[in-house]
Amino acid sequence: MSRERDTPAALVVMAQLREGREQALLDELAALPSGEESPFRRVASTHFCRWLLIPALLGADGEAAEPGRAYLLLTADFDGPLADWVAAMTREMGPHLDRIFEHCDGYRGSGELGALTDFIAERRVSVGFSILSSRATVARVRSSLELRRALREFAIDSQGMTPDALRRAWSERFGA
Amino acid sequence: MQRQQRAQAVTIISPVHRLWALWLRATWPLADRLAPVKRPLLRLSFIHFAHWSLIERVPAGVAGARRLAHPYVLFQSNFDDELSAYIDAFSLVVPGRMRAMWQGVFGFPGPRPVDRFLSFILARTTPAQYYYCAYPEASSTMVEAALRLSEEHRRFAAEAAGLEDDAFAARYAEFLTRNQLLL
Amino acid sequence: MTTLAGLQGNVLDGYRTPHALYMFVSVTEARVARRWLASRIGRVTTYGSFQAARPASTFNLAFGHDGLLALGVPPIRLAHLEAFRQGMAARADALGDVGPSAPARWELGAGDSHALLVLTAAERESLADAASELRDSLPEGGLTLSHEQHAYSAPEGREHFGFQDGFSQPAVPGASAPRIGEGTLTLWRRWRRLALGEFVLGHRDEGGRVPAAPLGPLGDDATFMVVRKLAQDVGAFRSYVAEAAERLHREPAWVAAKMLGRWQNGSSLARYPQAPGPPASQDPNASRFRYGEDPHGYACPLGAHVRRANPRDSLGYQGRLTQRHRIIRRGMSYGAPLPAGISVDDGVARGLMFVAYQGAIERQFEFIQGQWLGDGNPLRLGDDRDPILAAEGSNGQMIIQGRPPVFLAGIPRFVTTCGGGYYLLPGIAGLRALADGAC
């Protein structure tokens, strides 16, 4: 089931880990800069991205269904076609991706053309049902949030202004 | 409470009865296109994005790959704030939708009583070791309000461009009045 | 199901006595303290005994988690009660007790004490006598007094900012005739009482379950008590309200009412949007209103304090989203009032001894404090926080909805937390078991 018509699109990837690599993976994820320093800031079409370790898939009885098998889950919400997003990830975060995905079975590195795309395609989990609160791009969300802040500030500061002062202040702040 | 990172990642992965997986595959395509199905969930829980998937084989994208002993439902969301605050609401107000989502998951105790449902959900929640959000300080309601407000602003700015001061002041007051819930 | 006779007083049915004393004590010798407790049980005022006859002074006692451990309660009995176990100081971030309200700056001995002894009386002399006797009993009772605070109900029940308070309480079975509007709404939009388990352990709550309680006899006829010593900067409040009123060309009483959600005489903005109605103390319908008729907040602002603290049907679904987050409040003022007309702090300590009873601390008090008061997002108000209780990190802004809206900004901090704790108020049987070391 392709969700590529959606904006934003969602990608879910579930990759089996190489044996015994759980701690190494956790260490890599802990070392990946977050917040303002996150390398995802450079992949500007990314709304959300998470990485998590599934230490074991549990069975109906609550016990590990396949002892010894662990998985890495990657889920991202981003603007635009998947191919563009993967290209941007490779360009901006190639070394980071390598350090994380190298703990997964079958990963051949991001350097080889198409290798990352194939890796993702083979491990991609299709999304069956989604709820999206908006369809705006990251850029539009950010600029709208900034405008909202500016409008609130303006509303506060302009209280009690005479009409001509108000007009001037509006023009200065928002143009026209 | 400090709110540097409003969105919270919730990830639930849990085995389901095979028949339930069939049911989900059959009903998702239609449900996914029906706004009334989604509306109360959006209204109650301040979601940015939420996704449901079925995992039946590994690697998932390879035809003929190893089948898992059970299918797994994978639920992932970016909620504002804590899950426990929403589970209360879901259980009280949309128990039918909770059944439709979780009935076939092994061990599902029903949407009520809410404390038992919450324990069921929390027991199956896996923490994300890394989580990135492009607009961490904004909740989903703030994002929606900002998007609507920016449309309203564009319209107002266009209308108001040629107005005299007094007329502008009056229209500005109307603009504020109309959009005060978005500010 | 119990008869509630063993429940301590002032929970379901408020004492309404004008004078009180809160004594924060620590247990220094467990065995001696248990003997002291055994000797005092007969004097504890219960729900039953208070109904039967009003004593000259009432006596109640509550215990913090560490206090119960100090008295020999096995930790396993309490380990599952997360917030109670941690104590209020440890929950500071979630409660907004940061900056000047941070636990490190609380008054000495006033935070998460082992036990809290509470005396009230109709007459000042009766209180003084009871206090003197109680204080004298402590050293030989294996207890040390770490902090004490007198409190009172002002005439007309007004708290320090000038608002009539305390008259609107959840309607619960066993409480004296509640006012209409103090319970919750049914599907047929009528009012009904809330489930007893929302406020008394051992009974079913609104979710149909019995709330998590201490294991063993401590869990019978008991409740959780949240106490917060909240210093109020009345000068700053009056000064802000006056300055905002002048800037906005409004009356100070209007600004204050819009911030709180009620006029100073307690009449609700929802019922009386333009001018005060009859004083709440004289109006049986003071709480008889819904916000559903005011969805835009033109009458009572969406972010006003009382609308945040009890949103009623504001969140839709006939109030079902609010019915599990109610608290019984029995707070009283402390410190001499700031004389009328003064808008500068005079350095006199004054404020509110906030007391709340509920069956589940996290779901009730903490939810209100953290979700509705301490944030705006759950109420779709973004980052705007409660204007009366706003803590460090708040944007200090509030929209007063209207045609057109009015904006408040630069709202300073008026209230600072300077003490308090999470306590268990055991029933009589629980107190006996505690005294016998049989918990």
**CATH number of the CATH domain containing A86:** 3.30.70.1090
Task: Assess whether A102 and A167 both reside in one domain.
Answer: no
Tell me the residue range of the domain where B58 lies.
7-126
Encoding tokens for residue A114? 């198409």
pLDDT reported for residue C90: 98
How many distinct structural domains can be found in chain B? 2
Q: Is the pLDDT of residue A157 over 70?
A: yes
Domain membership flag for residue B132: no
Inter-chain touch B85–C367, beta carbons under 8 Å = yes
Q: Which amino acid is at B183?
A: L
Domain membership flag for residue B134: no
Among C302, C324, C393, the residue with its CB nearest the CB of B2 is C393
Task: Assess whether B115 and B74 both reside in one domain.
Answer: yes
Task: Assess whether B27 and B82 both reside in one domain.
Answer: yes
Domain membership flag for residue A2: no
Task: Assess whether B121 and B147 both reside in one domain.
Answer: no
What's the CA gap between C419 and C101, in Å, rounded? 9
Task: Assess whether A98 and A153 both reside in one domain.
Answer: no
Q: Which chain C residues touch B177 with a CB distance below 8 Å?
A: 402-405
**Contact status, residue C367 vs residue C348, Cβ threshold 8 Å:** no
In CATH, what number is assigned to the domain containing residue B44?
3.30.70
Domain membership flag for residue C101: yes
pLDDT reported for residue C176: 66
Task: Assess whether B109 and B155 both reside in one domain.
Answer: no
Encoding tokens for residue A64? 């590990």
Task: Enter the DSSP assignment of C111.
Answer: B
Q: What is the pLDDT of residues C340-364, one digit of tens each?
A: 999 999 999 999 999 999 999 999 9
Task: Assess whether B122 and B162 both reside in one domain.
Answer: no
Task: Assess whether A109 and A147 both reside in one domain.
Answer: no
Inter-chain touch C370–B46, beta carbons under 8 Å = no
Task: Assess whether A119 and A142 both reside in one domain.
Answer: no
Domain membership flag for residue A158: yes
Task: Assess whether B104 and B163 both reside in one domain.
Answer: no
Task: Assess whether B112 and B172 both reside in one domain.
Answer: no
Task: Assess whether A107 and A155 both reside in one domain.
Answer: no
User: Does C94 touch chain B if contact means CB atoms closer than 8 Å?
Assistant: yes
User: How much is the pTM?
Assistant: 0.94
Low-confidence ranges of chain C (pLDDT < 50): 1
Lowest model confidence (mean pLDDT) among A25-29, A77-81, C190-194, C293-297 = C190-194
How many distinct structural domains can be found in chain A? 2
Task: Assess whether C237 and C143 both reside in one domain.
Answer: no
Inter-chain touch A156–C407, beta carbons under 8 Å = yes
Q: State the smallest CA–CA distance between residue B173 and chain C in angstroms.
A: 6
**Mean of the pLDDT values across residues A119-148?**
95
Tell me the residue range of the domain where C75 lies.
4-229+420-436
Inter-chain touch A15–B169, beta carbons under 8 Å = no
Domain membership flag for residue A132: no
pLDDT reported for residue C168: 83
Q: Closest by alpha carbon to C163, among C152, C174, C154?
A: C154
Q: Which residue of B has its CA nearest to A51?
A: B130
Q: Is the pLDDT of residue A4 over 60?
A: no
Domain membership flag for residue B145: yes
Cα–Cα separations (whole angstroms), residue C173 to A43, C180, C197, C209: 58, 14, 10, 17
Task: Assess whether B44 and B72 both reside in one domain.
Answer: yes
Task: Assess whether C225 and C177 both reside in one domain.
Answer: yes
pLDDT reported for residue A1: 40
Q: Which residue has the higher pLDDT, B100 or B167?
A: B167
Q: Which residue has the higher pLDDT, C373 or A176?
A: C373
Segment (H or E) for B166: helix B165-179
Residues forming a β-bridge with C60: C118
User: Does B34 touch chain A if contact means CB atoms closer than 8 Å?
Assistant: no
The residues near B105 (Cβ < 8 Å, ≥ 6 apart) are B14, B15, B16, B20, B73, B124
Lowest model confidence (mean pLDDT) among A24-38, B11-25, B34-48 = B34-48
Q: Is the pLDDT of residue A176 over 80?
A: no
Task: Assess whether B120 and B148 both reside in one domain.
Answer: no
Q: Which chain B residues touch C321 with a CB distance below 8 Å?
A: 88-89, 92-93
Tell me the residue range of the domain where A151 lies.
138-174
Task: Assess whether B14 and B75 both reside in one domain.
Answer: yes
Q: Which chain C residues touch B183 with a CB distance below 8 Å?
A: 399, 405
Q: Is the pLDDT of residue B87 over 90?
A: no
Q: Which residue has the higher pLDDT, C186 or A124?
A: A124
Q: Which residue has the higher pLDDT, A63 or C146?
A: C146
Task: Assess whether B154 and B108 both reside in one domain.
Answer: no
Q: State the smallest CA–CA distance between residue A87 and chain B in angstroms.
A: 19
What's the CA gap between C128 and A110, in Å, rounded? 79
